[in-house]
Structure 1
Amino acid sequence: MNDIRPLIPLLITAGILIGGNGLQGTFISLRALQEGFSTSMIGIIGTGYNIGFAIGCIYVTRIIRSIGHIRTFSALAAIASAASISMLLFIHPTSWFTMRLIQGLCFAGLFAVVESWLNARVTNNTRARTLSIYRFVDLGAVTLAQYMIPAVGISGFELFAIISMALTLSLVPISFADRSSPSPPQAVRFDLRVLWKVSPLATVGCIVVGLTNSSFRSLGPIYADGIGMSITSIATFMSVGIFAGVVLQYPLGHYSDKLDRRFIILISAFGTFAAGLFLAFVAGTNEWLNFVGIFVFGAFGMPLYSLCSAHANDHAAPGQHALVSAGTLFFWSIGAVIGPLFASFMLDLFGPQALFIYTTVVLFAFMAYTLLRMGTRSGVPTGSRRQRFRNLLRTSTFFNKLATPPTEKED
């Protein structure tokens, strides 16, 4: 425990950030619906966040190297807090799109600061425990944050204020962290052509995860509202889908290390596809059936990013793993920009069930492409070249280093 104690301020900061971010995603969609924004406009606003996040992935390392961790964190937390309050002062789609874009850029930087700082402080003895605690913080913060919405309500100013307060208060624990600021992180290279050459399947897979899972995160509340769920049920619906992601992470990851990883990717995609069909055509307005469906959707869908990243690392040459980590996150961001936007237009045209019809179409195409790649290229045999499965967060490129087992050396 003594080894972990210096990391506690950083982990508390991470919990505040992840919880605030998870709360914003659901709340902004519901509040925009209450303000009379169309579903397609809500999708555009969600896209703004993902555009900012993609930009942040590219430039945040340069900022940290220029002014250091704590100054970067302080500046971005202040900007994100101001953007949250601005959404209350200027209730207009254009303003909200702009503020969400700014928030996306800031959160990409905030997570990068925390995770690069954790990487600098973690040791081989504390890596596994730190990673476990960090995943627990992630899951607990996002799940609990959803229930702030029915507890407080979406009509007033309170949730905007709570989000702004959380972002401001996240400065407190990190200010009590180890006084010696870590060395600036190495610059992250972005050569997206390299990732495509390393693994076309992983590249397409990360885009697909962005297209589907991000659409659920942005428009899941709109779907749930559209089929008549209460605010409390909407919070439960979103929590179940997010919490379910941990259930099959390790079983799927375990078997992907032993079998052709593409076969496990295919199983994961098929499970998500089947759950999408169930939600679109069977669950209807029955709340319990929707909870069951979204649980299966999250259980199979959430591990897909980690599986694709592991597959890309299987084919990466020495010295390419950091680039692969940056590339998979960036390609996910591309899908996350396009997905909520296109899905929102589908919801406007065809109703709430169109969200999961859209995801099933995307996943069906991905399954077909996976089968094509399996027939085109032989799998990587288990052995020295195979990388162990890592349960990854889509927060920053530095999480991949935090998840690297002590027996492996990250390039």
Structure 2
Amino acid sequence: MNQIRPLIPLLVTAGILIGGNGLQGTFISLRALQEGFSPSVIGLVGTGYNLGFAIGCVYITRVIRSIGHIRAFSALAAIASAASISMVLLIDPFFWFLMRLIQGICFAGLFATVESWLNARVTNATRARTLSVYRFVDLGSVTLAQYLIPTVGIDGFQLFAIISMALTLSLVPISFADRSSPEPPDAVRFNVKTLWQISPLATVGCIVVGLTNSVFRSLGPVYAQGIGMSIAAIATFMSVGIFAGVVLQYPLGHYSDKLDRRKIILVATLGSLAAGVFIAFVAGDSTLLNYAGIFFFGAFAMPLYSLCSAHANDHAKEGQHALVSAGTLFFWSIGAVIGPLFASFMLDIFGPHALFIYMAAVLALFLAYTVQRMTVREGVPAEKRTMSFRNLLRTSTFFNKLATPPSEDKPENK
């Protein structure tokens, strides 16, 4: 514990940010419904956040290198806080889209700043423990934050104020961190053509994860309310799907390190496809059946991003692992921009169950594509892989560096 004590302020800051972001995603969708926004408009607002996140991923390194970690964090937290509280002042779809766009840019920068700072402070002795704490913070903060919604309610300005307060308070623990700001991070290169050349399957897989998982986070509350769930039940529905994401991460990752990763990608895709079909055609309006369905959907769908990243790294050459990290996040962002927008139009036309029909259709196409890729390219034998599976958060490219032991990343640290 003494070894990671200096990192506690950064981990607390990360917890506040992750919890506030998770709370905001669910709350905005529910509040938009109450304000009379159609599902397609809510999808557009969700797209604003994901578009902003993609922009932030590209440009944040330049900002940190220009003004340093603490100044970048302070500025972004202040802007995000102002954008959050301003949404209650003007209830307008275009204005909310713009504010969510700004929030997406800011959160991409905030996560990158914290994780870059953590990566600069972590040592080989503290890396594994820090990652374990970070993942616990991620899971716990997002899950607990969901229950502020039924506790406080979605009326009035209270939750807008709580989110704004959380962003402001995230400055407090980081202000007590090490007074010496770390060295600016190396510039992150985005070369989308290179990632496609390294692994078309991983590229398409990351887009598919964006097309599906981001839809659950943006429009899951709309689906749940559409089938008659209460606010408390909606919070549980979202929490179950998020929590389930850790259940199969390590079993699937373990077997993917020993077998052809594409077979495990097939298993995860098939499992999430089956869960989507179950929710769409079997669960109906039953709350318990929907809880069961979303648990299995989260358990199989959430690890897909990490599996696709690991598959891309299997084919990456020396010095290309940083490109893979940036590229997978970029392609995920593309899917996350398109997915909520397209799925929301289906919700508008066909009703709530169309959400999981859409996701099942996307996963079915990816399943077929994975099978096709297995016929045209040999898998990388386990003994020839330079990197093992890592459970990755889609927060910034620096999380990949934080999760990578130097022994597995020699080309980038030589």
TM-score, with length taken from structure 2? 0.99
Aligned to 1:222: 222
Separation in 1 of the partners of 2:183 and 2:405? 22
Separation in 2 of the partners of 1:59 and 1:20? 23
* Greater Cα offset, 382-391 or 169-178: 382-391
> Cα offset for 1:409?
2.3
What is the one-letter code of the residue matched to 1:62?
R
**Structure 2 residue 38 is matched with structure 1 residue 55:** no
Can you list the C-alpha shifts for 1:144-178, whole angstroms capped at 9, x where unaligned?
00000000000110000000000000000001001
- Corresponding residue SS for 1:338: helix
Aligned to 1:177: 177
Separation in 1 of the partners of 2:84 and 2:190? 30
> Cα offset for 1:14?
0.1
Can you list the C-alpha shifts for 1:22-59, whole angstroms capped at 9, x where unaligned?
00000000000000000000000000000000000000
Separation in 1 of the partners of 2:377 and 2:284? 41
Q: What RMSD over aligned residues (CA atoms) do the two structures have, in Å? A: 0.6
Matches within 5 A, 1:12-411: 12-409=12-409, 411=412
Separation in 2 of the partners of 1:183 and 1:377? 41
Separation in 2 of the partners of 1:85 and 1:140? 24
Separation in 2 of the partners of 1:398 and 1:384? 25
Separation in 2 of the partners of 1:167 and 1:375? 49
Structure 2 residues not aligned, in runs of 5+: none
Separation in 2 of the partners of 1:385 and 1:184? 31
- Corresponding residue SS for 2:243: helix
Contact 2:387 2:409 in 1 (8 A): no
Q: Which runs of 4+ in 1 moved over 6 A?
A: none
Contact 1:149 1:159 in 2 (8 A): yes
- Corresponding residue SS for 1:359: helix
* Greater Cα offset, 44-53 or 398-407: 398-407
Percent of aligned pairs with the same amino acid = 80
Separation in 2 of the partners of 1:245 and 1:190? 27
Can you list the C-alpha shifts for 1:70-102, whole angstroms capped at 9, x where unaligned?
000000000000000110111100000000000
Separation in 2 of the partners of 1:377 and 1:289? 40
Contact 1:207 1:333 in 2 (8 A): yes
Separation in 2 of the partners of 1:140 and 1:376? 42
What is the one-letter code of the residue matched to 2:205?
G
Contact 2:386 2:408 in 1 (8 A): no
Can you list the C-alpha shifts for 1:98-146, whole angstroms capped at 9, x where unaligned?
0000000000000000000000000000000000000000000000000
Structure 1 residues not aligned, in runs of 5+: none
Contact 2:55 2:105 in 1 (8 A): yes
Contact 1:380 1:386 in 2 (8 A): no
